[in-house]
């Protein structure tokens, strides 16, 4: 497992209530890490990493929900694939709706991922495949703006009511796209009460980390317009538009 070298120090300046967490998908056992000593849902492991001083890894024996199948550690259960589970919980009208949602969830091929490593940012000792950030909207806006600052990239959230782990773990890694979801919207995480409602959970794949960190180091985090009163912002807007109008009249 490659040692941690990417400069992610810009994220330390946020003073997040919930520490960012790095995740690594592995075929071979990471001998330098200890295995998690209990079983839980994949989505719960982000919070578990935040609460632990030491990084850890998991196998399929540590995952007791649907995460095992999205990670390709085992084949999907016929019970889950049938769509019957969502009926029992009252989430869907008929199994066909639950089954269709399940069928769209991304997954690793069987045997590709045998282990997954987790580490809090200040304990990160490996190059992460994903970086998870849990933040209030004000802090999340800065990170999302850093995505667009030099690229013009459009933000896109892709998630489902059930099987959110597939969209937060597998989808960003396989697609290379950043994903985000407000806490409180997905069934499993809400039922397990992992985080308070109204936070933004971002899943950032490795290819975006250099872009975001570079932009965070260059851009203005709190825009002057955000500290204006409505009247001050209106005055600022008129001034900006007036200056631009004069520039366009006098090229």
38-50 pLDDT, tens digit each: 999 999 999 999 9
Kindly indicate the confidence band of residue 251, based on its pLDDT and cuts at 50, 70 and 90.
low
Specify whether 233 is located in the same domain as 213: no
Interval 168-185 mean pLDDT: 97
User: Per-residue pLDDT tens for 209-225?
Assistant: 999 999 999 999 999 99
Specify whether 137 is located in the same domain as 185: yes
Question: For position 81, what pLDDT does the model report?
Answer: 83
Specify whether 184 is located in the same domain as 237: no
Specify whether 238 is located in the same domain as 205: no
The pTM score is 0.94
Specify whether 201 is located in the same domain as 97: yes
Backbone phi and psi for residue 118, each to the nearest 5 degrees, phi listed first: -130, 140
Structurally, the chain folds into a number of domains equal to 2
pLDDT at position 28 over 90: yes
CB neighbours of 161 closer than 8 A, spacing ≥ 6? 91, 101, 185, 186, 187
Specify whether 39 is located in the same domain as 68: yes
Is residue 214 situated within a structural domain?
Answer: yes
Q: With 0-12 CB in 10 A as exposed, 13-18 as middle and 19+ as buried, what is 199?
A: buried
Specify whether 180 is located in the same domain as 247: no
Is residue 3 situated within a structural domain?
Answer: no
Specify whether 84 is located in the same domain as 119: yes
Which residues make beta-bridge pairs with 231?
none
Q: H/E element holding 202? A: strand 200-205
pLDDT at position 4 over 90: no
Interval 54-76 mean pLDDT: 94
pLDDT at position 107 over 70: yes
Is residue 36 situated within a structural domain?
Answer: yes
Specify whether 14 is located in the same domain as 138: yes
Specify whether 184 is located in the same domain as 246: no
Specify whether 176 is located in the same domain as 78: yes
Give the whole-angstrom CA distance, residue 236 versus residue 195: 38
Give the structural domain span for 251. 223-251
């Amino acid at each position: 497992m490659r040692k941690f070298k990417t400069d992610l120090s810009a994220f330390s300046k946020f003073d997040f209530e919930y520490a960012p967490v790095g995740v690594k998908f592995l075929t071979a056992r990471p001998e330098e890490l200890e295995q998690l000593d209990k079983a839980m849902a994949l989505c719960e492991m982000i919070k578990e990493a935040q609460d632990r001083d030491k990084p850890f890894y998991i196998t399929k024996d540590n995952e007791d929900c649907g995460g095992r199948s999205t990670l390709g550690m085992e084949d999907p259960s016929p019970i889950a694939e049938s769509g019957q589970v969502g009926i029992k919980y009252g989430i869907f009208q008929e199994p066909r709706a639950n089954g269709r949602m399940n069928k769209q969830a991304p997954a690793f091929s069987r045997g590709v991922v045998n282990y997954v490593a987790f580490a809090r940012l200040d304990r990160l000792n490996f190059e992460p495949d994903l970086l998870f950030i849990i933040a209030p909207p004000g802090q999340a806006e800065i990170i999302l703006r850093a995505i667009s600052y030099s690229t013009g990239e459009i933000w896109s959230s892709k998630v489902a009511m059930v099987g959110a782990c597939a969209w937060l773990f597998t989808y960003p890694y396989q697609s290379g796209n950043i994903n985000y979801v407000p806490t409180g919207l997905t069934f499993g995480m809400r039922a397990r009460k992992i985080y308070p409602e109204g936070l933004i959970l971002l899943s950032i794949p490795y290819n975006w980390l250099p872009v975001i960190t570079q932009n965070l180091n260059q851009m203005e985090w709190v825009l002057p317009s955000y500290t204006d009163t409505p009247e001050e912002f209106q005055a600022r807007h008129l001034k900006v538009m007036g200056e631009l109008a004069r520039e366009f009249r006098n090229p």
